[in-house]
Structure 1
Amino acid sequence: MRKLIESTFVSLDGIIDDTRPSTASRAEPQHWGQPYWDADHAGYAEKLMNSADALLLGRVTYQGFAEAWSSRAGDPGADAMNAMPKYVASRTLTETTWNASLIKGDVAEEVARLKEQPGRNILKWGTGELDRTLVQHGLVDEFHFWYFPVVVGAGKHLFEGAGFDTTHLRLADVDRFDSGIVVHVYVPK
């Protein structure tokens, strides 16, 4: 069975994103995280990408990634990102581009079905509304929380308003980067 791996950037005060709509763009990970994106960061992201053969994305992450990546070409990382099949969970999108398919029907059932298919890991970047369903149904096999050495002060917190019961995890691994990023890998207990 394939593993579903969640990968999320988190500030030290637990911020994962802007609380849209707002003017707190400083809370967007591409603003506070970018100064720390170095060779260690790229290498870890590449390791995650190389372990997977599909991406699972919520609408917001899908649209942001499609905008950022779809026009890039000519380097192995961009080419791999663009070629990889993507599965998008959305209640509002009616069509996709960028080598993506909309998940139709019950998201938990479809993700469970994807995990049963042969292949490598399924990688999910970002934490948002989709995670409520994934955590409630025990579908995430590993959480990779990238803690950045920055306090943002405003924005959406990790699992804010998730509405699921207490979920206990076990620390499986820790990676430290020279930039100060520390990745904690957790698995269900």
Structure 2
Amino acid sequence: MRKIIESTFVSMDGIIDDTRPSTASRAEPQHWGQPYWDEDHGSYAAKLVYSADALLLGRVTYEGFAEAWSSRDGEFADRMNNMPKYVASRTLEPSETTWNASLLQGDVAEEIAKLKEQPGENILKWGTGELDRTLVEHGLVDEFHFWYFPVIVGAGKHLFEGAGFDTTHLKLADVNQFASGIVVHVYVPK
């Protein structure tokens, strides 16, 4: 069975993104995270991407990634661009999912459970948002990779803010520390 691997950037004060509609663009990970993106960061991201053969994305992450990656080239960008993407959204239409993407239709939890049963490598899920509530609630995430950045943002959306699911206990499986100060904690369900 394939694994769902969740990868999320988190500030020291638990911020994962700006609020929608945006009230603090400084809270967007591309703003506060970029100063720490170095060779260690790139190598770890590549390890995750090359261990997967598909991406699972919510609408917001999908739209941001499609804009950022579709015009890039090079080995890593080619991998990102060519991987199949599965997008969970209640607002996008199938015709709006370009960039080698398919819109998940119907019950998202059921569709993702079916994806996990298909042969293949890991399915990598970037970003944390509304989709994660469903994934955690239904026990569909096999590994969480929380990238803790040495920055305090002060405003924005917190990790699993308003999640609404029961307490979920995790077991620390690995820790990766980078020279930039980023520490990636890998957790698995207990």
TM (norm. structure 1) is 0.99
5+ residue gaps, structure 2? none
Give the aligned residue type for 1:121: N
Separation (CA, whole Å) in 2 of partners of 1:117 and 1:81: 20
Pairs within 5 Å for 1:159-174:
159-174=160-175
5+ residue gaps, structure 1? none
TM-fit CA distance, 1:160:
0.1
Secondary structure of the residue that 1:97 maps to in structure 2?
A: coil
TM-fit CA distance, 1:22:
2.7
Give the aligned residue type for 1:89: A
Per the alignment, residue 114 of structure 1 pairs with 115
Task: For residues 69-91 of structure 1, give each alpha carbon's deviation from its aligned partner in whole angstroms, at most 9, with x where no partner exists.
Answer: 01112x10000000000000000
Per the alignment, residue 155 of structure 2 pairs with 154
Separation (CA, whole Å) in 2 of partners of 1:107 and 1:137: 10
1:25 paired with 2:14, answer: no
TM-fit CA distance, 1:158:
0.1
Give the aligned residue type for 1:101: S
Per the alignment, residue 176 of structure 2 pairs with 175
Aligned-residue CA RMSD in angstroms? Answer: 0.5
Task: For residues 126-183 of structure 1, give each alpha carbon's deviation from its aligned partner in whole angstroms, at most 9, with x where no partner exists.
Answer: 0000011100000000000000000000000000001000000000000000000000
Separation (CA, whole Å) in 2 of partners of 1:160 and 1:6: 16
Pairs within 5 Å for 1:73-152:
73=73, 75-95=74-94, 96-152=97-153
Per the alignment, residue 61 of structure 1 pairs with 61
TM (norm. structure 2) is 0.98
Separation (CA, whole Å) in 2 of partners of 1:176 and 1:23: 31
Separation (CA, whole Å) in 2 of partners of 1:146 and 1:98: 26
Separation (CA, whole Å) in 1 of partners of 2:83 and 2:22: 32
Give the aligned residue type for 1:76: E
**Structure 1 segments of 4+ aligned residues over 4 angstroms from their partners:** none
Give the aligned residue type for 2:91: T
Separation (CA, whole Å) in 2 of partners of 1:112 and 1:156: 27
Secondary structure of the residue that 2:60 maps to in structure 1?
A: helix
Separation (CA, whole Å) in 2 of partners of 1:76 and 1:22: 33
Give the aligned residue type for 2:147: W
Pairs within 5 Å for 1:33-52:
33-52=33-52
Aligned residues: 188
Secondary structure of the residue that 1:110 maps to in structure 2?
A: helix
Separation (CA, whole Å) in 2 of partners of 1:44 and 1:27: 23
Secondary structure of the residue that 2:79 maps to in structure 1?
A: helix
TM-fit CA distance, 1:20:
1.4
Secondary structure of the residue that 1:124 maps to in structure 2?
A: strand
